[in-house]
Each structure stands twice: as structure tokens, then as C-alpha cells.
Structure 1
Amino acid sequence: MLSRAASRILKNAAIDSSRWSAYKPRSGDIIIGTAPKVGTHWTLQIVSLLVFQSAEPRDLGFAPWLDAQFLAPLDEMLQMIESQAHRRILFSHLPFDAMPIYDEVQYIHVARDGRDVCMSLLNHVSNMTTEHFDRIAENRRDGDTLQRAMRESPREPREFYLYWIEAGTSDIDRADRADWFFETERSFWPERHRPNLLLVHFNDLKANLSGEMRHISAFLDIPVNEAIWPNLVEAATFDSMKRNGAQILTKAKYLFRGGHETFLHQGTNEQWRNVLTGADLELYEKRAHTALSPGLFNWLRNGRSVAGDPVLMPD
């Protein structure tokens, strides 16, 4: 049953939120909704392992990014998920209010410190292939600046950070900026009390992968099989994903120079240290405190292990 309709339609050269209007939910569907570069594919891998209860490498292409209009026609994506007999997994990079929300669907949102998001985004845009840029450009509308901005943004880490953090607009055509990251996070935070929405944090996945996988498994009502659990956890590690990247990310070779080796970059936080100055970091603090509530700022910075259960946190 529809719990809440999307409150707005968002389009740029890469995404079109109206594609979700054609989605027909199935009880038990899992949708991972995130800002880019927060650990989306890591979470996809974890959820895939839990659903299939197998550590064998599986191409994550079975879980479509439905709002991405440059990857495949909508009909093709819909036919793929309609033909699936297993529990379905999809993902999105839309703000939560731009998606229709259904009671029978379970949603997972992954968060990360914005400074780490910025450094990961730099690796992402720096290694996009010409084909990748061109496929996005095919959907460009008049006045759409995203594709050009990604091509022309700085490639030196500090300069890219200053470009990313620069105050501007949260319009979706500037989705490569901090304002859009903050807006996406703000859309999920007030909804965190929904029983079918789970908030996960990159820091917690790094600190206690097995524990966080158990937390996700419980949310999805998937029993833990202790006999195979160590194998599932190992298959979800960064090293294992990178080792098996050619099998689990088969399309990466067309989208990124270096393929999965580049897309699965380092899997670490704080790459901004020894890159940003004290003044640079103070700029982030100022922008983030202005854009985010105290509770959301604390959550993005620290995750569950430090800040506590987000459901119990104040706004």
C-alpha cells in the first residue's frame, strides 16, 4: 500500500525520479536509498549476500538503479525485476521525498561523513570514461549543467573539495556539490522513525561488519545461519569485493577507467587528512552546522557506535 507519494519530480542528465511511478512494489522488496559515494554498492553486496545466503560472487547488476536514465531504458529495468522470483533489491540516489514510499517495502539508507563523501566523489568523477560522460550527455536538457560540471570540476584533491563545499544551490543540476548531499540527508532524517526504514552508517560497517550485517539481517527478517555466516561476512569485506570485482561489478569496465579496481577505490575514511587545511575543515564545519540539525550532524559525523541509535536521537 502506498504510504506516501513522491512530493516532487527531479530530473537532470543522469536521473529522472518520475521513473519510480512505473514501479510496482512486491511485498518484501528492498530499496537502498542513498546519496552517492556513501557505501551504496557495499550495502548492495551485503543485502545480496543475506538474500541469497551464498558467498559466491554474484553480479550486482540484478539490482537496478531505477532512477538512472543513462544506464538502461526504464522498460528494460522493469522487465528484469518483474521476471525475478527471488526477493528483489533496487537502489536509488534520490532524496527520500522524491520517491513513493510503500508499507510493504523495506528501505535502507546509508550515511557517511561529508568530507569522506567528497574524497570518494573526486575518485569517481576523475575516472569516469568518455563513454560514461557521453551516455549522461545524451539526456542533457537545456540549462542542465551537471554533465559539464562533472567533466570540468577540479581534479586536485584540495581544489575539488573547495569546489564541492562552495555555497551555491541544492538544485539537482548541482548534484556534485555539498548542498545536494546535505539536502539528500535532510530528506531521510525526519523519516527515521518509520518501521520500514533502517539507517546504516559507513563508520559502523567499517568498525564492526559482522555486527552491522546482523543488524541489517534482523531488519530484513532474514534468519542468521551461523554455519555460513563467516563466509558471508568475508564476502562483504572490501578486500573480497575488490578481489571479485570483475564478477560482481561487470559493467564497471565500461564506466570507469580501471573498471572495478577504480570504482572500489580504497574503502577508507579520512583521506582528506594531510590534504585540507584547518581553514578548509572549518569551512565544512560552518556549512554543515548551517545545513544540518544538531542530531543529523552528529549522526553523519559519528554513526551508531558513537552517536547512538538514530531512532532515539533528537533532531
Structure 2
Amino acid sequence: MDPTTELPRKTRELHNHHMDSTIWNDFTFRDDDVFIATYAKSGTTWTQQIVGQIMHGPDPTLPVSDLSPWVDLRVPPRHIKLPELEAQTARRFLKTHLPVDALRFSAKAKYIFVGRDGRDVIWSMYNHHANANARWYEILNDTPGLVGPKIDPPNPDICSYFREWLDRDGFPFWAFWENVRSWWEIRHLPNVMMLHFAELKRDMGGKMREIADFLEVSVPADHWPEIENLCSFEWMKTNADHVTPLGGIIFEGGGATFINKGINGRWQDVLPAADSATYEARARAELGEECAAWLGQR
């Protein structure tokens, strides 16, 4: 990277029932680190599986959820998580849901940001939230160190849930527009790759090869068929308890609930046209025409 390039700087902390951004203040980078960044429910677990299999596979037993923890999740606490991250000996591929200005940025690490239309995000998020069990709420609400309000069960009407998320910018999770906008603004950096959920759906094999090139990983040609199979929705759904966080124990129905549909557009026959139009206008106002068009692709 050109040494004159101005890199993002961390300018604030972000806390909620899920996050504690202060862990980044004590995080030690390695030059070959890989970070998978998303808002949430944008293809994060899928991308983690892809990156893990590209770098360390093909291996159906690869413990991706253990190897690729969510750095800024506030549990387990930093005195446990940071030593666990330091103890990893293989090339690390880690997860974050923070906007750029709430984390520390490395010039030598690689960053893959995965975007998805906000309407698809919420249809997936609702399944995630509505199927969360008592253990999920206990972990998030009762673990010491909570800053801000607890998270409650969702509104049972998904359209009302969507409207409140849009009106209150990410409620009851965290702000959506600033997350997408912050990564879009640094898309020009050579160590940042912008990836879209819809692109993976259209051409998973091609995008996987682009990811391998970006990560500077040479994958033997005869490994690709097995890697693609291990990253298919069908394989991940069948083996959901192996690839999902905590083996899916925080969701009713286990990991198969977390790996739900893997499709876009489920909102189209449910969300009123006026609400969809409101979302699209808000996307253009918050992100600008170019970024809104990129994010809205299907």
C-alpha cells in the first residue's frame, strides 16, 4: 500500500447488548490477518465458511465458528477472548460487525465487506431474533458489562418490525446506514474487497476465486469442486450445527434455524409497496445513488 495513503482511524467506541468496540484497543494485528465485515445477516457465516475453506481446506470438519470468532462481540470478555485470538497459529480470519470508525484498521490485513439489501437483511434478522431462545437473551442481557438497554423479544408482525428498524435506524440492533456507508467510503483501498450477497448467489464459484486471488491464496484446481460443495447452502444447512456460532445452541431448532433460507426477495410479497419505496428513498439519501444501487442489487 502507498505509504502516503490516509488510513481510517478509530474515532469512537460503540457499545450495545451485542458489542464492545473497546476490545480493538488491545488487539494485536498480524500482517496476514483477514477480517470479514458485515452489518449482520448479510452472508457473514457463508463468507466465513468460504474464506476458511479457501485458506485451510477443503476440510468438512474445519471448525469455522471456533476459528473465526466475532471480535467485537462482548462475550466472552476480553481477558478470555484476546488470549484465544493470540493462541491461533494458522492464518486468522475474524469477524466484525462494526463500522470502520469504531475499529482499528491495519494497512497490511485484508478486509472483505459483505453487503445486502436492508430488506433482505431484516427478513433474515427477524428469523434470527424470533427464534432466539432463553440462552441467547441470558448471554446478551445478563452477562456483566452491558452498556445500554437490554434486547427484548421482537414485535410479532414482521412488517412492523421492519418499519421500526427503518424508523429508528437499526433498532433493536445497531445502526445500518453508517455501517454500510463507512465501508463504501474506503472501497478504494487495495486491502478492501466489496462483496455482495447477491453476487455470491449468482456466481459463487467465480466470486470464490476472486476472494482467493484477493487473499493471495493459491488453491489447487482439483480442490475447487470439494471446496464449492462445502460452501454450498445445501451442505451448510445439512451441517448447520458445525458451522454456526456456538453450534446453534442459542436458537430454537439449533443451527438449522440460523442457516435459514439463504435467498433474497422474501419481503417482496409481504412488505407493502409504500414501505419498500420509503426504504429505497432512505437508502439513496443515506448512501448516495451509487452505493444505494450497489446495495440494492438482487
- TM-score range with shorter-chain normalisation? over 0.9
Aligned-pair distance for 1:3?
4.5
In the aligned structure 2, how far is the partner of 1:55 from the partner of 1:164? 38
Query: Are residues 142 and 207 of structure 1, via their aligned partners in 2, closer, same or farther at CA, if it must alter by over 3 Å?
Result: closer
Shift of 1:52: 0.5
| Partners of 1:169 and 1:243 in 2: CA distance | 34
Residue equivalent to 2:199: 204
Counterpart secondary structure, 2:61: coil
Aligned-pair CA distance for 1:290: 1.8
The 1-side partners of 2:91 and 2:20 are apart by: 25
Contact 2:248 2:255 in 1 (8 A): yes
- Conserved? CA contact 1:12–1:141, under 8 Å: no
Alignment RMSD: 2.0
Aligned positions of 1:33-52 closer than 5 A:
33-52=37-56
Q: Does 1:94 align with 2:88?
A: no
Q: Trace 1:67-106 onto structure 2 (pairs within 5 A).
A: 67-70=72-75, 72-106=76-110
Distance of aligned partners of 1:51 and 1:15 in 2 relative to their CA distance in 1, 3 Å threshold:
same
8 Å Cα contact 2:33-2:91 kept in structure 1: yes
Deviation per CA, 1:83-132, whole angstroms, max 9, x where unpaired?
22210111111001111111121111000011100101100110111111
**2:19 paired residue number:** 15
- Residue of 151, 172, 176 corresponding to 2:173: 176
Q: State how far apart, in whole Å, the 2-side matches of 1:204 and 1:169 are.
A: 25
CA distance in 2, matches of 1:130, 1:107: 34
**In structure 2, what is the Cα distance between the partners aligned to 1:159 and 1:112?**
20
Q: Which amino acid counterpart does residue 265 of structure 2 have in structure 1?
A: E
Match of 1:116 in 2: 120
Deviation at 1:22, TM superposition (A): 1.2
For residues 121-160 of structure 1, the C-alpha deviation after alignment (integer angstroms, 9 at most, x for no partner) is 1001101111111211125778823513xx2x31222222
* One-letter code aligned to 2:22: S
Contact preservation (8 Å) 1:13, 1:139 = no
Report what 2:157 is aligned to.
156
Question: What percentage of residue pairs aligned between the two structures are identical?
Answer: 31
Q: Between Structure 1 and Structure 2, how many residues are aligned?
A: 293
Q: What does 1:225-240 align with in structure 2 at a 5 Å threshold?
A: 225-240=220-235
Provide structure 1 residue ranges, at least 5 long, that are not aligned to the other structure.
Answer: 304-315
- 1:257-282 Cα deviation digits (max 9, x unpaired): 11111000000000102101211211
Partners of 1:272 and 1:250 lie apart in 2 by 26
1:143 to 1:41, Cα distance in 2 relative to 1, 3 A: closer
Identify the residue that residue 53 of structure 1 maps to in structure 2: 57
Contact 1:146 1:176 in 2 (8 A): no
**Are the counterparts in 1 of residues 41 and 125 from structure 2 also a CA contact under 8 Å?**
yes
For structure 1, which segment, 209-218 or 76-85, has the greater mean C-alpha deviation from structure 2 after superposition?
Answer: 76-85
- Tell me the distance in 2 between the aligned counterparts of 1:286 and 1:203: 21
Q: Which TM-score applies when normalising by structure 2?
A: 0.92
Please tell me whether residue 63 in structure 1 is matched to residue 58 in structure 2.
no
Distance 1:250 1:289, change over 3 A: closer
SS at match of 1:27: coil
Q: What stretches of structure 2 of length at least 5 have no aligned partner?
A: none
Residue 5 of structure 1: how far off its partner (Å): 3.2
**Alpha-carbon distance in structure 1 between the residues aligned to 2:146 and 2:112:** 34
